[in-house]
A and B are shown apart, each in its own frame.
Chain A
């Protein structure tokens, strides 16, 4: 999985590409947490180029959203399609994330 992180208008934009497996979930969590330590609390995760996310990847996004809320910020998702969108729906995570 490719991870591209940019900061725009004080918002951390994380663009993911490929399949998000268990080892990628750990990497994503580690990279994103580094931005919390720098004081950021607003995140946008672009999943438009992600063709699969496993349950550990879903768990990583939940953990990051909780962290963002704890820091009085937000974590939004963008570009859910295909199996990724289906997995968010069947796990009901589409109800707890703001999807833009």
Chain B
């Protein structure tokens, strides 16, 4: 098994735009480059905006069959972190960890902000369809096999079984 280390940093001089992306990758039997671990730190929604395409591309390499579904789940979870968990506190950041095992893909999104009580985030199953917000968690649940909040809402872990 051949291992590579990729380090992506920003080239546009905005400081650490999406701080650093470190991927451990290997080639499978067919010679396809797979990445089994992916990490991204974002200190603002702007940094996450700049990191989105890299996340999409890496998900497509990690897990092409579910890449869009997983991207949808990650995008909603990171939006929740910035809008419901952090509350614009300075010095906070959101960390996205994606780890692929043989039969499972684990996504963990954590932040060091105030957190929130997950039960207070409404879902479409119980909320009015005409509400302007409250759909994110329900969308995440649709696309992953398990969703778990911990650390007072500062951390969310999602699992997707790979077939």
Q: Which A residues are closer than 8 A to B by beta carbons?
A: 21-23, 52, 54-56, 58-60, 62-63, 66, 83, 87, 90-93, 95-96
Known contacts A21-B49, A23-B49, A59-B135; is-contact A93 B75 (Cβ 8 Å)? no
Distance in Å: Cβ of B49 to nearest Cβ of chain A: 6
Chain A contact residues, majority secondary structure: helix
Q: Looking at B45, B131, B135, which has the most chain A CB atoms within 10 Å of its CB?
A: B135
Measured in the bound complex, the distance between the Cα atoms of B76 and A68 in whole Å is 27
Which parts of B70-97 form the interface with A (CB within 8 Å)? 71-72, 75-76, 79, 83
- Is B142 in the interface zone, CB < 8 Å from A? yes
30 residue pairs from A and B, CB less than 8 Å apart: A21-B49, A21-B52, A21-B75, A22-B45, A22-B79, A23-B45, A52-B72, A54-B76, A54-B79, A54-B136, A55-B79, A55-B135, A55-B136, A55-B139, A56-B79, A58-B135, A59-B132, A60-B132, A62-B132, A63-B132, A87-B139, A90-B138, A90-B139, A90-B142, A91-B124, A91-B129, A91-B135, A91-B138, A95-B129, A96-B130
- Is B20 in the interface zone, CB < 8 Å from A? no
Across the two chains, which residue of chain B brings its CB closest to A62?
Answer: B132
Q: Looking at A63, A91, A92, which has the most chain B CB atoms within 10 Å of its CB?
A: A91
Chain B residues lying within 8 Å of A93, measured Cβ to Cβ, are: 129
Chain A residues lying within 8 Å of B45, measured Cβ to Cβ, are: 22-23
- Is B133 in the interface zone, CB < 8 Å from A? yes
Chain A residues lying within 8 Å of B99, measured Cβ to Cβ, are: none
Across the two chains, which residue of chain B brings its CB closest to A60?
Answer: B132
Inter-subunit contact B75/A54 (CB<8 Å): yes
Contact with A along B60-75 (1 / 0, CB 8 A): 0000000010011001
Q: Which B residues are closer than 8 A to A by beta carbons?
A: 45, 49, 52, 68, 71-72, 75-76, 79, 83, 124, 129-133, 135-136, 138-139, 142
Chain A residues lying within 8 Å of B79, measured Cβ to Cβ, are: 22, 54-56
Distance in Å: Cβ of B137 to nearest Cβ of chain A: 9
Across the two chains, which residue of chain A brings its CB closest to B141?
Answer: A90
Across the two chains, which residue of chain B brings its CB closest to A53?
Answer: B72
Chain B residues lying within 8 Å of A63, measured Cβ to Cβ, are: 132
Other A-B pairs beyond A55-B136, A56-B133, A96-B129, 14, CB < 8 Å: A21-B49, A21-B75, A54-B136, A55-B76, A55-B79, A56-B79, A62-B131, A62-B132, A63-B132, A83-B68, A87-B72, A91-B139, A92-B129, A96-B130
